[in-house]
Structure 1
């Protein structure tokens, strides 16, 4: 079939002209969508250079590049280690790279007369890193924790890095191997109620509200800080934040930022660790500087305008980090930039301390971090680099049975053409920032390495199209950074997974995610534990799904109906009927697997949630063949309320629900100890 010019341009830019919808039927993309997406992309135009800006070789691929054109080219290859190679090659003929060139990032320069071209050569392993115990066939378990939900006798109203260290110690004492975390990405300290960890301002820096202020020597030894800390007003605010059922981000932020400013004054005076901090600033470069400037400007503007959020609400002259007004502000507010940079340094130090503690405890995985799929529209990242992030589009998902209009996540996509033109450096920097100080990295919506659903800005999600990403190159770089950081990779591959990426992920050594609720055969039967693939992590649920108790009691369905998520009573009834079938199928699976005593004639519909049933579900998960098992403290405690209800913004207090008890009390509870003992023993039966 001959394509018209619009379709040719769209296809060349990686825009899929058609896709298979949720009903399994082919669907086509409108011309308006093609034009809108082409208008925001930086797809290459004009005459192509002799070599592309980057070439990636994985595993045992033939390491050859072929300059396009005629005549003789002179080449110089500089390895990552600084070793140089020289030679010449005719245009159109293959140039074989030097033998024994190590894995890594190398620079190739082509010259012809006065012209010169550069291309990055990346040599990568075929598979991601795997910890030795998992490679030897062992099975490990850990806790999946939304860090802010932790209550303790020490924190200031939300979980912090001090709690994380104590959580690691408790999990290790129970036989666990890791603590899995929600994204710890930087949010908005001046607008703390913007609390979704999946809509960050930056994926390269940390949320400074996780700093455990009480640990800081500069806070402990500052007379001004201690006077404030012991004042009646501060104690009242602290108690209010601690006893609140939901995380009171505004009060927590007010307490912490004030305390940190007092500690900053002490740090500036005494000079201890100044060199280490300044080294951190130098290594962070412009990216850290503008992250700190963004936080400082945001705090200043919020004082004047309580509704101002993100740079999109700022005056015209402030909407880009390079604009004159911003540069003048930076020159006049150097101390403010230093303060916000210092907070990032503290956060990195405390998180690194948690990682070091996990290694002292002998944990193979220790910590795993979560990489969100993108950043918010008005974020520091888009403010710094508007060419990389396409603000004229948003990422989401096409229509399906549960969402007839699709999903729009309001996250501007990374332009794959800009990434490639930059030698994939933005992707490399992102991985390095998130693989430091951890043993595993979970990649949210891992299908985004292959394709993302782009929606023209201002349109509904059904007006979008799939845009291709250089999946082979990205997987190779992911494997290289994974091996260098000794950090395994877990892919969140739930939902509709394109067939072409399944084998790519498996062959790259990326772990799949297996959630109990979804592991059913076509006839409704739940998969038995031995049917779970070894290269996976199993879990009962996720932050977007009901807890064990919530599922069994169908509390999520009643909540969804209360929040107006279902268009009519008939939809609720249909979902409830489906849930009863799921419960019975799950009960049958528990019996078949021997996780629960043989049937006594009592059907699932008549059986309420109980400690015995909760333990049986955990035993079932423990028996799965998945190398990793992630368990939620909410399920140990029998909690029924979710931490997040997808499809809601104002209707439900997402990302705020705390655990029902403190860390100290939870691990002292006999029922929890018995459950975790059963899990630990069960995981050792390989």
Structure 2
């Protein structure tokens, strides 16, 4: 049986109690473990007695509070987590392989989008792909960025991983939208007209004007009086979110007031508990409440998107992506200082691809401080993401075991690995996933120890396989030898879409940007040899009768048919592959030299692709048919429906200002 050690002065009586989190009336007394002897030792010159107390057998999964009170009045409390031995959500997937689209949501737009894909577009994508036979949609991280323009384009360098980005709101879906004042509606219509034109620009996504237009509209919507029912819903959300939401909203308001580089961040406004920050809670209360309200709207629209996936027949739904860290000047770094390592940054050691290593400028969790906090920040993060999700992909999942720490002011090569209590980190993740009923996928590409993969697999965490990276020596690994507990893909967002990869667009881009480590001729020869090797295997498997002479679309379909031979439980279909897009979303090693994370969805000829056109694109339908036939899945007959709107009740006098 599991035990908890309680250390006291010898002879000091102690009472130990345990109760489920939030239900102290259900407490029970614990007794010393019968099969373990107490131990007495000297600590700092004093005798201390360590007594193991037995936890009850077969405790239900969940969180508990344990309290020890001594006869002398000393009191201590800790959190206790009862975690699953293995995720049942993964085991429920067995018996049927599933596929889903992998998409960068900001790039997937409809005629109603405001310059960037949003949560209503996500619901629509889920609806149409569910009809096609998909069981999930894997999207980029939707983490919160800066509260006002300019905003960081990379979804993997967020301000906070505990809250979401209002950029993804569909403002017209806010329940109060129909009740805007006529003059305000005219303003909004002008903003909408400009942003809907931006949707038709296939060159680049400009988040800043889109976000500015949405914020202006949302500020107008915030003045519309909410119905009693809506106000009640907002208050319930705020109460459930608690202090973390208040601190995040305060940071947003302060960031608007101070900007990023104000010296006050290092002194007066250094933390949520500082006198300056406490005074700002009152002085900036209107803006704080505004940012709280935005998170409530996001919660509503995230719920609507996940609901749309189930109405479309999906049994998983939206699979969110969890970035590896946060911006060092962001909301989480400010609010969670007690859990982070000051003066440190996360990165990667030197390898054959980057001889200098990498510094991601993201502060790491401090393993000891995180443990002292009962892993609450980690738990809160999981709960936020799982609240309206069917799954989660953990970027750089090996970071739950160890991270490469770099002292501030040093190079990446000066770093070292710092290890975490992976049993606790994975245990908390598994517990929250099990309670929420979500599937967990770990991105375990690159140099990851076999022991890490084996441990994660034993817990029911799926791994990741990329077709181009699966090799046995110099030849492609037969897909039948891929892992079963795995999410398999042809490519990643750090590689071009498959149509572009076949053309070698990545080589031309890297040559243009001066990123080639060898001569262009050597790089092209290696790329040609790689493709030749893969297509020889695909042809031998019988999926490319025309061999190397086949056209690009046929080759893409053949690669997916080849990948479908894998026993992997989940198989991603890149939306960019389906429409014929060739441009890469992210070119590693660049910042402003390339429009990373700003490439809108376009077809093989560079024309913008709208969501409404996807069901009518023959290329999309052919690839879907290839995957469905190979996996034994079928299209569904349910009609594509618009996402449900938030419920509207008793919207009294819409022209009164909110109090």
Q: Is 1:625–2:572 an aligned residue pair? A: no
Which residue of 2 is the match for residue 35 of structure 1? none
Give the aligned partner of residue 282 of structure 1.
239
- Asked whether the equivalents of residues 298 and 310 of structure 1 are also in contact (C-alpha less than 8 Å), the reply is no
Partner of 1:119: 78
Q: 1:156 aligns with which of 101, 114, 127?
A: 114
Superposed CA offset, 1:265-294 (max 9, x none): 1135x5550111112112222211121122
Q: Matches of 1:424 and 1:534 in 2, distance apart?
A: 31
CA distance 1:317–1:359, shift in 2 (3 Å): same
Q: Superposed, which structure 2 residues align to 1:20-39 within 5 Å? A: none
Q: Which residue of 2 aligns with 1:247?
A: 205
Q: 1:205 aligns with which of 155, 163, 168?
A: 163
Q: List aligned pairs for 1:108-257, cutoff 5 A.
A: 108-114=66-72, 115-130=74-89, 134-135=93-94, 137-222=95-180, 223-231=182-190, 235-240=193-198, 242-243=200-201, 245-257=203-215
The answer to whether the 8 Å contact 2:341/2:365 transfers is yes
Distance 1:430 1:630 in 2: 25
1:679 maps onto 2:627 in alignment: yes
Q: Distance in 2 between matches of 1:665 and 1:360?
A: 21
TM-aligned CA deviation for residue 531 of structure 1: 1.1
Match of 1:650 in 2: 592
3-state secondary structure, aligned to 1:267: coil
The reply on whether 1:262 has 2:220 as its aligned counterpart is yes
Cα deviation, residue 494, structure 1: 0.6
- Root-mean-square deviation (CA, aligned residues, Å) is 2.2
Matching residue within 286, 301, 304 for 1:335: 286
Decide whether the 8 Å contact of 1:547 with 1:642 is kept in 2: yes
3-state SS of paired residue (2:222): helix
Q: 1:235 to 1:99 in 2, by over 3 A?
A: closer
Secondary structure of the 1:87 match is: coil
Partner Cα separation in structure 2 for residue 611 and residue 576 of structure 1: 21
Give distance in 2, aligned partners of 1:312 and 1:368: 39
1:238 deviates by 4.0
Deviations 1:581-613 (A, max 9, x none): 2101110121122221164xx5xxxx5752211
Aligned residue pairs, count: 607
Contact 1:102 1:123 (8 Å CA) reproduced = yes
Please list the CA deviations of residues 646-668 of structure 1 after superposition, one character each: whole Å capped at 9, or x if unmatched.
Answer: 11111111111010111111221
SS at match of 2:620: helix
User: Alpha carbons of 1:265 and 1:112: their partners in 2 closer, same or farther (altered >3 Å)?
Assistant: closer
Task: Select 1:533's aligned residue among 480, 483, 487.
Answer: 483
Match of 2:370 in 1: 419
What is the SS of the residue equivalent to 1:119?
strand
1:633 and 1:644, CA in 2 relative to 1: closer, same or farther beyond 3 A? same
Displacement, 1:140? 0.5
Select 2:253's aligned residue among 268, 274, 296: 296
Which one of 380, 392, 398 corresponds to residue 429 of structure 1? 380
Task: Select 1:362's aligned residue among 313, 328, 347.
Answer: 313
SS in 2 for 1:109: strand
| TM-score, normalised by the number of residues in structure 1 | 0.84
**Residue of 617, 620, 625 corresponding to 1:669:** 617
- Contact map agreement 2:340 2:366 (CA 8 A) in 1: yes
- Alignment partner, residue 637 of structure 2: none
Q: Contact 1:129/1:509 (CA < 8 Å) preserved in 2?
A: yes
Q: Return 444-453 or 259-268, whichever deviates more.
A: 259-268
Instruction: Determine if contact 2:479/2:566 at 8 Å carries over to the other structure.
Output: yes
What does residue 77 of structure 1 align with? 17
In structure 2, distance between residues paired with 1:272 and 1:124:
37
| Whole-angstrom CA distance in 1 between matches of 2:148 and 2:268 | 21
Within 1, Cα distance between the matches of 2:60 and 2:108?
44
Worse-matched range after superposition: 90-99 or 400-409? 90-99
Distance 1:576 1:68, change over 3 A: farther
Q: Tell me, in whole angstroms, the C-alpha distance in 2 between the residues paired with 1:627 and 1:312.
A: 51
Distance 1:472 1:310, change over 3 A: farther
How many angstroms apart in 1 are the aligned matches of 2:236 and 2:475? Answer: 57
Contact residue 32 and residue 52 of structure 2 kept, 8 A: no
Report the CA distance between 1:556 and its aligned residue: 0.6
Give the gaps of 5 or more residues in structure 1: 1-61, 302-307
CA spacing shift, 1:310–1:78, aligned 2, 3 Å: farther
Distance 1:313 1:406 in 2: 33
User: Is 399-408 or 551-560 further displaced after alignment?
Assistant: 551-560
Change in CA separation of 1:69 and 1:666 when aligned onto 2, cut-off 3 Å: same
Q: Shift of the alpha carbon at 1:242?
A: 4.5
Q: Does 1:502 align with 2:453?
A: yes
Counterpart contact for 1:389–1:413, Cα < 8 Å: yes
Contact 1:450 1:469 in 2 (8 A): yes
